């Protein structure tokens, strides 16, 4: 009986992995923190995912207090964000409402960062389109 259950579990797992579509790795990261540990974590995760799966599509949606990750203000993470933005399969999007609340003009964003009307709506739209979701926190 144990051998039968083990075989059934292995068969089901094999079916799950063989049915996965190559190139369908899509994930949206939700960043609302100004904490440097969280901001460094999202950069690290994007880099690691890119190394293991070059075809992965990834998006970081920034709103709330996470805004400084994508502004032109000098920081240890600025160059890393610019390097990630050079990859056409990685996007950073910032919430227009957050920018307005913080009096940040689009000209203060790192080149390549996109503005969306509502960060939460952007995340929900990605989830509805089948993207995975990761809340960046520690």
Confidence of residue 8 (pLDDT cuts 50, 70, 90): very low
| 46 in any annotated domain | yes
16 inside domain: no
**pTM, two decimal places:** 0.82
**Residue 127, in any domain of the structure:** yes
Tell me what pLDDT residue 24 has. 83
In a domain, 14, yes or no: no
* Inside any domain, residue 7: no
Residues 88-133: tens digit of each pLDDT = 999 999 999 999 999 999 999 999 999 999 999 999 999 999 999 9
Q: What is the pLDDT of residue 5?
A: 36
More confident residue, 32 or 6: 32
CATH of the domain at 121: 3.40.1260.10
Quick check: is 9 in a domain? no
Domain that holds residue 65: 21-135
Judging by beta carbons within 10 Å of its beta carbon (0-12, 13-18, 19+), is residue 15 exposed, middle or buried? exposed
pLDDT at 75: 82
In this structure, is residue 2 part of a structural domain? no
Instruction: Identify whether 85 is part of a domain.
Output: yes
Report which of residues 44 and 7 the model is more confident about.
44
- What CA–CA distance (Å, rounded) separates 41 from 33? 11
Question: What's the token pair of residue 82?
Answer: 């610019």
Query: Considering its fold, how many domains does the chain have in total?
Result: 1
Give the separation between CA 138 and CA 136, rounded to whole angstroms: 7
Tell me what pLDDT residue 56 has: 96
Of the pLDDT bands very low, low, confident and very high (cuts 50, 70, 90), residue 66 is very high
């Amino acid at each position: 009986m144990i051998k039968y259950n083990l075989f059934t579990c292995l068969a089901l797992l094999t079916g799950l992995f063989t049915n996965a579509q190559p190139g369908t790795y899509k994930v949206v990261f939700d960043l609302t923190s100004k904490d440097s540990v969280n901001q460094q974590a999202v950069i690290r995760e994007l880099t690691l995912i890119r190394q293991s799966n070059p075809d992965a599509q990834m998006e970081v949606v920034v709103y709330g207090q996470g805004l400084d990750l994508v502004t032109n203000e000098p920081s240890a993470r600025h160059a890393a964000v610019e390097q990630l933005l050079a990859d056409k399969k990685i996007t950073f999007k910032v919430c227009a409402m957050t920018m307005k609340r913080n009096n940040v003009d689009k000209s203060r964003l790192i080149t390549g960062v996109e503005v969306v009307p509502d960060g939460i709506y952007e995340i929900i739209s990605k989830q509805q389109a089948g993207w995975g979701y990761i809340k960046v926190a520690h």
